[in-house]
Amino acid sequence: MKHAKLLVVNCVKRVSKSFSTSPFSLQRHYKILVVGAGSGGCSIAHKFSSKLKAGHVGIIEPSNDHFYQPMWTLVGAGMANLANSGKKMSKVIPKKADWLQTKAMAFDPDKCIVTLETGEQVHYDYLVMATGLQLNYDKIKGLPEGFNTDPSLCSVYDYNFVQKTLPAIQNFKGGNAIFTLPNTPIKCSGAPQQIMYLADEMWTEIGIRDKANIYYNSSLPVIFYVQKYADTLLQVLDRRSITVNYMRNLIEVKTYTREAIFQKLDSPREETESFKYDFLHVTPPMSTPDPVRESPLVDSTGFVDVDKETLQHVKYPNIFALGDCSNVPTSKTSAAAATQGGYLEKNLNAVMNGKQPFAKYDGYSSCPVITSRGKCILVEFNYDCLPLETFPFNQAKERRSMYLLKKNIIPQIYWHMMLRGLWNGPKFLRKVMHLGMDGPEKDYTHSKDIKGTN
Ligand code: UQ1
């Protein structure tokens, strides 16, 4: 740690000097360089560019558009419009920050340099990693090409494939409908179940449900790691007669015979199991983007290696990370990124002022899980998988109010507050709702008994 600190001091000095003594140099140098303009990156860029002079914050982001991805589950079920889920990137990136519209291709944390796709090297004093995740459909044999030829294949995780989801649901006439969960960390792990519950409801309404077998083939050994919410989800699965197959990881799709091949993660030998499918919703394996995964910034699992409380890099104290790209052991959601943003802001400010980071993130993550059209449970929990609920009622109960919150209020919070760096999660609301007596519920502990009987 001491060594790393020395490196940073040298780094900041050297860069500033070369910049100031060479006014005609084309070398770009930012006080804070943010990589990625998803929810976490935008929020942090806003927080710091509002405090610093124009041109002190740079943000690297190749995309033209910014999407509110939680809406894509609703798009897949025909309950929302894809066009309404995005805005031009230029509208969400802070005006006072410099937008470098290209990809970050290499990271040299010892020299404090990020190399762009253009070949240009950008220097920084402080780096914030917020790249999000890359979708690796190509890790499944037969994909992504299969999506082009088989109309019964779809995925709410991708801009193109989400548009195939509603037609695939509507064209299903019975047989096997399979929904998968991969063997990697993913963003919004509730989404694969949500689209399944909504599809089930549509098939029930059009009267074909009794001709359908619905399978949830998950790589996990449990339905959900927080017991309180697992209890509700197991009841929903039971009520809907959905079969859950645990420890099944999709490795191949044969579109010509309509077979999905799963690796049996619980078998000692490398056994596989084949399922005929008539509808297949794929949640792809995910990782950090290749340049991040191949950089010195990551741990052995390929995620940016930060302290789980301070969000400061374990080796390079002038680097922080938030959102899906970091290795903090909590569920990857926008709510987690929003909350992390508040702690990161305090800790990066401290480090910029020569102090130690002090603010400690508790692992808060949250996701509204739609269990039927118009009903939702609002899961909220911390690092210990203990419920940490905002509202003073039982959020494990399926409620219309929580659905309305998800559909109408949270998107407004996202666009108008979070992206502008004004929303650090609902902690303050939780305190108000609980008259200052908030804290995790201790009655529910993580238990192996949340698997269900399927
Ligand atoms: C939240 O803060 C957030 O970030 C903006 C989300 O992402 C879109 C969420 O889904 C949720 C549930 C929260 C938590 C907010 C409240 C009001 C409980």
* Residues whose CB falls within 8 Å of the CB of residue 409, separated by 6 or more in sequence, listed in order: none
Give this prediction's pTM: 0.93
Residue nearest (by alpha carbon) to ligand 1 atom 8: 334
Structure tokens given for 307: 């302290």
Omega into 144 within 30° of 0, i.e. cis? yes
Q: How many CB atoms lie within 10 A of CB 429?
A: 12
DSSP 414: I
Q: How many CB atoms lie within 10 A of CB 341?
A: 30
Separation of 144 CA from ligand 1 center, angstroms? 31
375: left (phi over 0), alpha (psi -120 to 50) or beta: beta
Report the alpha-carbon distance of residue 280 to residue 296 in Å, rounded.
37
* Annotated catalytic residue, options 42, 112, 154, 367: 367
> Torsion angle of alpha carbons 148, 145, 151, 245, nearest 10°?
-160
Residue nearest (by alpha carbon) to ligand 1 atom 9: 335
> 188 catalytic, yes or no?
yes
Report the alpha-carbon distance of residue 358 to residue 111 in Å, rounded.
26
Q: What is the pLDDT along the chain (454 residues), one digit of tens a residue?
A: 333 333 343 454 333 333 333 444 568 999 999 999 999 999 999 999 999 999 999 999 999 999 999 999 999 999 999 999 999 999 999 999 999 999 999 999 999 999 999 999 999 999 999 999 999 999 999 999 999 999 999 999 999 999 999 999 999 999 999 999 999 999 999 999 999 999 999 999 999 999 999 999 999 999 999 999 999 999 999 999 999 999 999 999 999 999 999 999 999 888 999 999 999 999 999 999 999 999 999 999 999 999 999 999 999 999 999 999 999 999 999 999 999 999 999 999 999 999 999 999 999 999 999 999 999 999 999 999 999 999 999 999 999 999 999 999 999 999 999 999 999 999 999 999 988 777 788 765 544 445 543 3
Evaluated on CA atoms 188, 193, 197, 198, the torsion sign reads positive
> 325 catalytic, yes or no?
no
Q: Cα 443 to the chain's mean position, in Å?
A: 28
Backbone angles phi, psi at 52, to 5 degrees: -100, 165
Instruction: Kindly state if the Cβ of 327 falls inside 6 Å of ligand 1.
Output: no
CATH numbers and ranges of domains, the chain: 2-133+288-352 (3.50.50.60), 135-286 (3.50.50.60), 365-433 (no CATH)
Decide if 374 contacts 404 (C-beta within 8 A): no
Decide if 75 contacts 82 (C-beta within 8 A): yes
Instruction: Kindly state if the Cβ of 71 falls inside 6 Å of ligand 1.
Output: no
Report the alpha-carbon distance of residue 133 to residue 115 in Å, rounded.
19
